[in-house]
Amino acid sequence: MKSLPFSIKENHIFIVATSVLILLLYGYGSFSFTGFFSTQVFLNLFIDNAYLIIVATGLAFVIITGGIDLSVGALVAFVSMVSASLLEHGVNAYIVILLTLLIGIIFGAFQGYMIDRFDLHPWIVTLAGMFLARGASFLISTDSIVITNETYSSISRAKVYILGDSYVSIGAIVAIIVVIIAIYMAKFSKFGRNVYAIGGNVKSAKLMGLPVKRTIILVYTLSGFCAALGGLVFTFYMLSGYGLHLLGMEMDAIAACVIGGILLTGGFGYLIGPLLGVLSMGIIQTLIMFQGTLSSWWTKIAVGFLLFLFILLQRLIVMRRGRRKVIRLEKQHPSLPVHSQPVSGDFK
């Protein structure tokens, strides 16, 4: 059996690296701490981080187009406040769920429209969206609102047993479904192909006649929907709404995407990546909890170190691709001054 071409191996290097990292971290925890190697500890990674998996998966589509969405953390907090406030006033729980999802869709679509219609940088638009959502949360209430609604409480307590006494929550099930749908969309749908084409080269995508404007709006709409869905899952998890929930969570979502191999410059990444990135971050946090004497801030330090390594790995791969592209052009057109041309860092 012939070995795979190097380009295919290179395309998968980020997923392989993150998977190896997860195995090493989990293996270290299993040998170092009693009870770490158990089915429930592993499943708790999905239970505790379900909301982040959903948000990071939606954000991945935005990053693949070459954009960014800084509003996702604030939108999660806003959804928790809206849900808690409406439930406190006696609104039906299922109507609240639909309204909060609709808020996420409208919020994301509006940001996408602003970015596309006025050619604004995504950093600026979504930063404004972050302040807007976080500020609107405090207009509802400056205090935490406890949720006592029976429907939300039932969903929060629900357990789906998998192996014996091991179980996952409804939120974890939703997160896995979101990841599966995202992988299918990215690989097999026309929308997914358009997303990668825009991230690779937006000018080429326009020349090919792809619906660039519509795709950009849809991408931010999807991110807003996933943020709202993640906010619902987080609300089920916490059973409270608070404007200060998940401060800086957007950076955790970006970090999960980067560790999972989503290229920040756009055009490349696998939608399984954010899930792997979240799991690796969750294992680090679990290791610190089992260790018992370290501050929780060591999680941030470890994630920062991993970010540095994975960004460096991304840069090395891009530079290697660029050098190979120059060599290929030199062989095809020996008379052209290829050395003087800038090197593209895309993943073609």
Per-residue pLDDT tens for 275-292? 999 999 999 999 999 988
The reported pTM is 0.91
Average pLDDT rounded to a whole number, residues 159-174: 94
Give the number of C-alpha atoms closer than 13 A to the C-alpha of residue 44, restricted to the C-beta side.
Answer: 14
* Whether the predicted pLDDT of 187 surpasses 90: yes
* Whether the predicted pLDDT of 331 surpasses 80: no
* Whether the predicted pLDDT of 341 surpasses 60: no
Start-to-end Cα distance in the chain:
25
* Whether the predicted pLDDT of 65 surpasses 50: yes
Nearest to 338 by CA among 325, 321, 319: 325
Q: CA-to-CA distance for 236 and 130, rounded, in angstroms?
A: 22
pLDDT digits (tens, 9 = 90+) for 232-274: 999 999 999 999 999 999 999 999 999 999 998 899 999 999 9
* Whether the predicted pLDDT of 140 surpasses 50: yes
* Whether the predicted pLDDT of 342 surpasses 60: no
Q: Cα dihedral sign for 96, 87, 246, 294?
A: negative
Q: What is the DSSP string of 186-242?
A: HHHSHHHHHHHHHHH-HHHHHHTT--HHHHHHHHHHHHHHHHHHHHHHHHHHH-EE-
Higher pLDDT, 72 or 305: 72
| CA distances for 217 relative to 62, 67, 94, 114, 117, angstroms | 10, 11, 27, 9, 10
Average pLDDT rounded to a whole number, residues 42-54: 97
Q: What is the pLDDT of residue 344?
A: 42
Percentage of the chain exceeding pLDDT 90 = 77
Q: CA-to-CA distance for 194 and 216, rounded, in angstroms?
A: 9
